[in-house]
C-alpha cells in the first residue's frame, strides 16, 4: 500500500522570507460575489517557500529550472536522519561518511534535521542546521544528483556562498525548505518534485510529494 506525504510549504502572505526580501503579495482579482469566477494574482520571489535551486542560481552557464531532467526530479530518494543535531549545528563530512554506502552516484538525498517544524516568520532562518564546506565537497565528490534540506544547505551569512557554489557547480540540484520530513519514519521514499518549467529561471517553487510503501494491517 502506498502512503503519500506532502513535503511542500504553502506560499502565503505571512510566511518566512529571506532577510531583506519582500513578502509575497496576493490579490483577489475576481470573486464570485461580483464576477462570474474567481481569479487571484501573486507576486513573489522565485526562491520562496519549498523551491528548487537550479545550477544557474550561482553558476555561470549552469542549467536553468526548465532544463533540469525529469529523471532528476522523480525517483527513489534516501533520507538521512540528522534530527539529533539541534539548533546552530553543522552537518560535517564525517557525519555524511557514515552513510557513504548509500551516497551513490545519481542519488537523490534528503537530509532530515527537524527544522521543518520551525516554519514561522520569526525562527525559520535563525540557527538552522546546515552543511560545512567540507561536507558539500564530499557530496559533490559522490556525484549525487539532488539534495534536499530545510531551509538551506549553507548558513545565511556564508561569505561568497561557497557551499551553494560547490553543490550547484557539481550539477547538484538543490531542494530547499522541505516540509514534513519529520513525519517520515523510513530511510527512503519515492520522490516527486514538480516545479513550473519557467524558461531561464534560476529556481522555482514546487510541489513535492514523498511516496512511501507501507504494509496493510491485518484484519
Q: What is the pLDDT of residues 80-89, one digit of tens each?
A: 999 999 899 9
pLDDT range class, residue 53, cuts 50, 70, 90:
very high
Mean residue pLDDT across the chain: 94
Q: What is the mean pLDDT of residues 124-144?
A: 96
Residue 195 CB burial class (10 angstroms; 0-12, 13-18, ≥19): buried
Cell 539541534 belongs to residue: 86
Reported residue count of the chain is 219
Exposure class string for 176-186: b at 16+ Cβ within 10 A, else e: bbbbbbeebee
C-alpha cell at 173: 540540484
- The topology under which CATH files domain 2-213 is Glucose Oxidase; domain 1 (3.50.30)
Mean pLDDT of 150-179: 95
In this predicted structure, what is the pLDDT of residue 217? 65
pLDDT band at 123 (very low <50, low <70, confident <90, very high): confident
List, in sequence order, every residue forming a beta bridge with 91; answer none if it has no partner: 131
Q: Structural domain boundaries of the chain?
A: 2-213
Task: Provide the pLDDT for residue 218.
Answer: 57
| pLDDT: which is higher, 156 or 207 | 207
CA distance linking residue 152 with residue 168, whole number of Å: 13
Q: How far apart are CA 15 and CA 108, in angstroms?
A: 27
pLDDT 10s digits, 3-14: 999 999 988 888
* Nine-digit cell string for 107: 542519488
Q: Phi-psi region for residue 88, left (φ > 0), alpha (ψ -120 to 50) or beta?
A: left
Residue 93: in which H helix or E strand, if any? helix 93-97
Q: Which residue has the cell 494491517?
A: 217
| Helix, strand, coil abundance in the chain, percent, nearest 5 | 20, 30, 55
Amino acid at each position: 500500500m502506498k502512503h503519500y506525504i506532502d513535503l511542500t510549504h504553502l506560499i502565503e502572505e505571512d510566511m518566512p522570507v529571506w532577510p531583506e526580501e519582500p513578502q509575497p503579495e496576493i490579490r483577489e482579482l475576481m470573486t464570485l460575489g461580483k464576477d462570474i469566477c474567481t481569479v487571484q494574482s501573486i507576486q513573489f520571489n522565485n526562491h520562496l517557500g519549498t523551491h528548487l535551486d537550479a545550477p544557474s542560481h550561482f553558476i555561470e552557464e549552469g542549467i536553468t529550472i526548465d532544463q533540469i531532467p525529469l529523471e532528476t526530479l522523480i525517483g527513489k530518494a534516501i533520507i538521512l536522519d540528522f534530527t539529533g543535531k539541534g539548533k546552530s549545528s553543522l552537518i560535517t563530512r564525517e557525519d555524511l561518511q557514515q552513510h557513504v554506502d548509500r551516497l551513490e552516484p545519481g542519488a537523490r538525498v534528503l537530509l532530515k534535521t527537524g527544522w521543518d517544524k520551525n516554519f514561522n516568520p520569526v525562527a525559520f532562518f535563525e540557527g538552522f542546521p546546515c552543511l560545512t564546506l567540507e561536507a558539500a565537497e564530499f557530496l559533490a565528490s559522490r556525484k549525487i544528483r539532488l539534495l534536499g534540506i530545510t531551509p538551506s544547505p549553507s548558513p545565511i551569512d556564508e561569505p561568497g556562498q561557497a557551499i551553494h557554489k560547490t553543490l550547484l557547480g557539481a550539477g547538484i540540484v538543490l531542494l530547499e525548505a522541505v516540509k514534513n520530513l519529520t513525519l517520515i519514519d523510513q530511510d527512503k521514499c519515492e520522490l516527486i518534485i514538480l516545479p513550473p518549467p519557467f524558461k531561464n529561471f534560476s529556481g522555482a517553487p514546487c510541489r513535492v510529494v514523498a511516496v512511501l510503501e507501507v504494509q496493510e494491517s491485518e484484519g
